Amino acid sequence: MTAEPKWLDTREEHAWRTFLHTHHELMLRLQRHMLADSGLIPAEYEVLVVLSQHPDGVMSAQELGSQLRWEKSRLSHQVRRMQDQGLVARDPNPADARSCLVRLEPKGRRTIEEAAPWHVQHVRQDFIDLITPEELETLIAVNERVLGHLAGRAGSEDPFQGNGKQATGK
């Protein structure tokens, strides 16, 4: 016999559903803006951001997939589509014949450098500027706690902690 679940009370359910709805609506809005502003879909933007943050714009497909937390097949299909657009290139990996290197092409660098300011403007307008500095600190703490729990750690290293270069790698 299984134990009766500990159901969410009204306040907990409201918090959970509000979180889900907010995330969904925010992502939809940001995706629409990104497509309208730059013609990019979020997956393309993510690949370009990670590559642009790498000093020479070149990463092994395995490292890129790991940073994006994508399955190998998803990365392969996405990189192929982006290669067809001239945003990235695939080269043989001299260190591992079983894999390839993904290289940011000049068109890809220009694309991310043009898209990032628009994206940051929308993130700020539709999220960051609506939150007080104190609320932002609370949001960071809560999310780090949840990420730490999901990763099986008591604390969490923030995988997104950066130096202000997330948008373009500049």
Both structure tokens of 63: 């490292």
pLDDT band at 9 (very low <50, low <70, confident <90, very high): very high
Which tens digit of pLDDT belongs to each residue from 46-81? 999 999 999 899 999 999 999 999 999 999 999 999
Instruction: Write down the pLDDT at residue 137.
Output: 98
**C-alpha 80 chain-centroid distance:** 19
Reference 57, options 121, 99, 98, 113; nearest CA is 113
In this prediction, residue 1 has a pLDDT band, given cuts at 50, 70 and 90, of low
pLDDT-derived band at 168, boundaries 50, 70, 90: very low
pLDDT at residue 159, rounded to an integer: 52
pLDDT at residue 127 greater than cutoff 50: yes
DSSP H or E stretch at residue 39? none
Q: Give me the mean pLDDT over the 93-121 stretch.
A: 95
The Cα 45–Cα 39 span in angstroms is 10
52 vs 95, residue with greater confidence: 52
Residue 67 pLDDT: 96
Burial state string for 4-23 with b = 16 or more CB within 10 A and e = fewer than 16: eeeeeeeeeeeeeeeeeeee
